[in-house]
Structure 1
């Protein structure tokens, strides 16, 4: 094979053969292709795209570059969820134990936050003692004992994706739909789940800003999953405003526990239940029938909370320990009375990042107590002079820049009938 010929093939808008894809991924993983050559191919894919067969083969090549977990021997059917990332998106925390409480096994490999989007592992690491790094043997043990596990992906899973993503990040090719889809799906297929539900976010705080692009990404990933024998569906969900009323690490853990205790914000409960029902159905279980508990009941009767405590404890954490709190707080007051008609998720996420809840580089530490508490969501009535946001940070010098991000993030109007719209926008299956 000749890498220049592979680049030219895609540059000229032609279809890459399975043999070309297999070779180029293997050679790049083995450092036999120069970074500038792979960058040229990534740009050619960005500009020319891939068809369904190419995207599936590209995913398969990255998948086979490393290990693949197998949980087919478990007594329960396996199912998982992947979110494309958002602001206040703590859904994995209540979702995993809820689905486990209803009879499925959930092997959830999660990541860390970067930029304005929060990471599930960062949130969970705010729990004293909790451990993200598990060996495959430890992961299987926790899964058998509790029905769920949330941990970091090992370095042996899809190493080609890890290397290629770092290259895409510095060459302006991250936004390619087939490359995004192959990146996500190679990791998810490597974890060995029997079915998969994708939560594809849409809106200002999401990677996909509009329904058209979100549908394209969702359809590409659903096709890849099903082509690889994993039952895959997707829900398109709104990310124009943050989920719930907290954005941060420990703040979101506390909110997730509220949901698991039968309370919590209605949007977090709604999305948890919707995704849980979709996951159970994909796993071949029918919620509310044949001994399969409905997710709403699992939240209400305490069974999901019990699984959460078992899961946290099994990974070294203390589910009853106090969570970290920021050293400093500042309240932002509503400038006028009326109805909150807009709350921009990206700007709120940026504010939380500036407060220390996120990181600029992967190796940076996060402040577990930092973040934003939202005292109103779109559709709520606010009063002038009353709290609109509470900012949490360990260093008070962070407040001004965070407040700047929030200054243009919201609108207060006089529309008493304002409706923020549905949370679940579409289903792709």
Structure 2
């Protein structure tokens, strides 16, 4: 049976049988770029599509392929605001800390809007961060939930279609993609595989009318030190106060670099990106979405006060951090924590030392935050994420890809 027929059967009747047939075909890697583009459009247009009043504006965003320790989905929109872009950001739950679930920790920050409200917010500040729902790309949400259920999330052709469907629903004409290369990555375990999938993403994006660039980052090591939903807010506060350690400063520069590479060159002419401007843009977004900079500051400082638990090194040598295990540990307790919150936030970590640092026995390597009776168990599982080696780990590099 032809791939397009299988896609059409799923679109017309998204039953589990038809979803599995599509997944099986995607696993065989027979879907052409043309058919992936066709699927992305059908998914993106299965609900409402954001309609912007200014048709000539640069409508842009930078999603990611998922992974811990990055703030790109929080910082890049603030940079794009400074470039006079429109950023209708359709977000999904992160593991452990996606942009939408981090911002939701700020009291009164709203993430559910109808199309008119989104348009009004975009007219006000240029940036609206809202969550996937039955209104926007509902067929993509249904397929994604089923893929999660059957363990079929890391299938590149379906990842590409899913990401682009949300950009179609949001009305984008420019997008970046933060490709997080790691053993748990949805775009490949190695730079070679991730680069191949990134080039395919760029080609499919062109077929649906979106100009795309991909940024390949090594996520086998941490990008910055603040890991967790609340901790990401604290990291933003450190940026806005210019109180950054080396790793956070480097990560901020990386995020700025990604954002500057997405819109056309004329959008960035004579633009100065400062932490003061990012802080101002962040405040605008908070107000437009029902919260305030004061509530953000208080929340971030409350998180900081909870970081009094310390884990120290067990020996001398080069520090190795298992980022997959660290992510899985935090996600485990997020999922087990019983609360009415849409995005529970019972724990988080701040790294005091980095991967490949030489450390000595009893040196402090992190602080952690933990709520409830699982604190001791959480600490024990955290300890297992860190080891001491005789030699430093070899790391990969950073790469930018765009349509030739």
TM-score where L is the length of structure 1: 0.83
Partners of 2:354 and 2:225 lie apart in 1 by 8
Aligned-pair CA distance for 1:359: 6.3
Worse-superposed segment, 42-51 or 368-377: 42-51
Q: Which residue of 1 aligns with 2:126?
A: 147
Q: Which residue of 1 aligns with 2:39?
A: 58
Note closer, same or farther for the CA distance 1:366–1:359 as it changes in structure 2 (3 Å cut): farther
Note closer, same or farther for the CA distance 1:133–1:362 as it changes in structure 2 (3 Å cut): farther
Does residue 39 of the first structure (1) align with residue 20 of the second (2)?
yes
Q: Which residue of 2 aligns with 1:319?
A: 293
Note closer, same or farther for the CA distance 1:310–1:247 as it changes in structure 2 (3 Å cut): same
Partners of 2:336 and 2:34 lie apart in 1 by 36
Partners of 1:199 and 1:173 lie apart in 2 by 21
Q: Which residue of 1 aligns with 2:323?
A: 345
What secondary structure is seen at the aligned counterpart in 2 of 1:83? coil
Note closer, same or farther for the CA distance 1:37–1:330 as it changes in structure 2 (3 Å cut): same
Aligned-pair CA distance for 1:174: 2.6
Q: Which residue of 1 aligns with 2:274?
A: 298
Partners of 2:327 and 2:213 lie apart in 1 by 27
Q: Which residue of 1 aligns with 2:259?
A: 276
Q: Which residue of 1 aligns with 2:374?
A: 397
Counterpart contact for 1:56–1:224, Cα < 8 Å = yes
Counterpart contact for 1:352–1:402, Cα < 8 Å = no
Partners of 2:286 and 2:18 lie apart in 1 by 44
Does residue 210 of the first structure (1) align with residue 190 of the second (2)?
yes
Does residue 307 of the first structure (1) align with residue 281 of the second (2)?
yes
Note closer, same or farther for the CA distance 1:349–1:63 as it changes in structure 2 (3 Å cut): same
Worse-superposed segment, 164-173 or 133-142: 164-173
Partners of 1:268 and 1:353 lie apart in 2 by 23
**Residues 67-124 of structure 1 deviation map (CA, whole Å, 9 limit, x = unaligned):** 22122616742211110111022222222112212322222111213xx442222211
Counterpart contact for 1:101–1:147, Cα < 8 Å = no
TM-score where L is the length of structure 2: 0.88
Partners of 1:367 and 1:124 lie apart in 2 by 12
**Residues 213-249 of structure 1 deviation map (CA, whole Å, 9 limit, x = unaligned):** 3123222221121111111111111111222111111
**Quick one: which of 119, 127, 151 aligns to 2:98?**
119
Note closer, same or farther for the CA distance 1:244–1:221 as it changes in structure 2 (3 Å cut): same
Counterpart contact for 1:101–1:303, Cα < 8 Å = yes
Tell me the C-alpha RMSD between the 2 structures: 2.7
Partners of 1:211 and 1:199 lie apart in 2 by 13
Q: Which residue of 2 aligns with 1:23?
A: 8
What secondary structure is seen at the aligned counterpart in 2 of 1:427? strand
Counterpart contact for 2:178–2:215, Cα < 8 Å = yes
Partners of 1:313 and 1:22 lie apart in 2 by 42
**Residues 191-219 of structure 1 deviation map (CA, whole Å, 9 limit, x = unaligned):** 10121111111014533321233123222
Q: Which residue of 1 aligns with 2:135?
A: 156
Partners of 1:223 and 1:201 lie apart in 2 by 19
Note closer, same or farther for the CA distance 1:361–1:97 as it changes in structure 2 (3 Å cut): same
Partners of 1:144 and 1:270 lie apart in 2 by 28
**Structure 1 unaligned runs (5+)?**
1-8, 10-14
Partners of 1:219 and 1:360 lie apart in 2 by 39
Task: Number of aligned residue pairs: give it.
Answer: 394
Matches within 5 A, 1:221-370: 221-264=201-244, 265-281=248-264, 284-287=265-268, 289=269, 291=270, 293-294=271-272, 297-299=273-275, 302-321=276-295, 322-323=298-299, 324-325=302-303, 329-340=308-319, 342-354=320-332, 356-357=333-334, 365-368=342-345, 370=347
Partners of 1:159 and 1:152 lie apart in 2 by 11
What secondary structure is seen at the aligned counterpart in 2 of 1:234? strand
Partners of 1:360 and 1:204 lie apart in 2 by 27
Note closer, same or farther for the CA distance 1:64–1:44 as it changes in structure 2 (3 Å cut): same
**Quick one: which of 152, 158, 176 aligns to 1:179?**
158
What secondary structure is seen at the aligned counterpart in 1 of 2:67? coil
